[in-house]
Amino acid sequence: MPFGGGNKCGSCQKPVYFAEEVQCEGKSWHKSCFLCMVCKKNLDSTTVAVHVDEIYCKSCYGKKYGPKGYGFGGGAGTLSMDTGEGLGIKPEVQAPHRPTNNPNASKFAQKAAGSDECPRCGKTVYAAEKVIGGGNSWHKGCFRCAKCGKGLESTTVADRDGEIYCKGCYAKNFGPKGFGFGQGAGALAHSQ
C-alpha cells in the first residue's frame, strides 16, 4: 500500500481508501468509479464483466466482445439496429444482393419437382402436411386405415404391400388364424 492512502483506483488513478474500496480482478476501485466504461451504470460483483483493464456491464461487454450474427440478439427476442459504433465497432459492409438464375424464384415451386407423392390420393405431399409411415409420405388426412378408415399415428400403423392399416384390421386380415388366435369361442365376433 503506497504512502498517503490505499491502492490506486483502476479508473481515476487516485488513492483508494479502505472505506470506499471495491476490488475486482485484483485491482481496487472507488465505489463511485466502479462504472461501466460505456454506459456508466453502477456495477457490482454480479453485473461486472472485465476485459483486460476495462470494466463493463454484461450488456455492453456482450455488444462489444460477444459473438455476432444471427441468433445472438440483445436478449428476450429483441431486435436492435445498433451497429455498435458507439463502442468502437466498425459496421460490416454487406455484399450486394445477387438474384438467382432460376426463372421461377418461388422456393415452393422449386421443391415441387422433387416432392413426395401421396400413395392414397396421388397428389404432392408438402412438408407442412407430411406424415411418414409404411415407407411413404402421406397427407395427414390420407393417413388412415385402408379397411376401417380410422386415423393412424406412428404407434398404431401397420403396413403391407404399400397400404397402411390400424393394428386391429391388420391382425384380423393378415395375422395368424386358427385355434388360440382369437377366432375361437371366447373371442369377440365382428361381422361385416
Report the percent of the chain where pLDDT is more than 70.
Answer: 64
Contact 29, 11 (CB under 8 A): yes
In this structure, what C-alpha cell is assigned to residue 47?
Answer: 453485473
Domain that holds residue 146: 117-174
Q: Please indicate, yes or no, if residue 191 is contained in any of the structural domains.
A: no
Q: Please indicate, yes or no, if residue 3 is contained in any of the structural domains.
A: yes
What average pLDDT score do residues 74-83 get?
57
How many domains does the structure of the chain reveal?
A: 2
Query: Residue 110: pLDDT band by 50, 70, 90 thresholds?
Result: very low
pLDDT on residue 188? 55
Give me the CATH number covering residue 9. Answer: 2.10.110.10
Q: Please indicate, yes or no, if residue 101 is contained in any of the structural domains.
A: no
Q: Please indicate, yes or no, if residue 107 is contained in any of the structural domains.
A: no
Q: Please indicate, yes or no, if residue 110 is contained in any of the structural domains.
A: no
Q: Please indicate, yes or no, if residue 79 is contained in any of the structural domains.
A: no
Query: Residue 4: pLDDT band by 50, 70, 90 thresholds?
Result: low
pLDDT on residue 112? 47
Q: Give the residue from 23, 20, 40, 39 showing the smallest Cα distance to 31.
A: 20
Q: Please indicate, yes or no, if residue 105 is contained in any of the structural domains.
A: no
pLDDT on residue 115? 67
pLDDT on residue 73? 54
Query: Residue 107: pLDDT band by 50, 70, 90 thresholds?
Result: very low
| Higher-pLDDT residue of 180, 138 | 138
pLDDT on residue 89? 65
| Higher-pLDDT residue of 119, 184 | 119
Query: Residue 59: pLDDT band by 50, 70, 90 thresholds?
Result: confident
**pLDDT tens for residues 119-176?**
888 899 888 888 888 788 888 888 888 889 888 887 888 888 888 888 889 888 888 7
Q: Please indicate, yes or no, if residue 139 is contained in any of the structural domains.
A: yes
**pLDDT tens for residues 17-49?**
888 888 888 888 888 999 998 898 988 888 888
Pick the last residue of a domain from 50, 65, 80: 65
In this structure, what C-alpha cell is assigned to residue 97?
Answer: 444482393
Instruction: Examine the pLDDT at 108 and tell me if it is beyond 50.
Output: no
Supply the DSSP string of 102-155, one letter for each residue. Answer: -S---HHHHHHTT-EE-TTT--EE-GGGEEEETTEEEETTT-B-TTT--B--TT
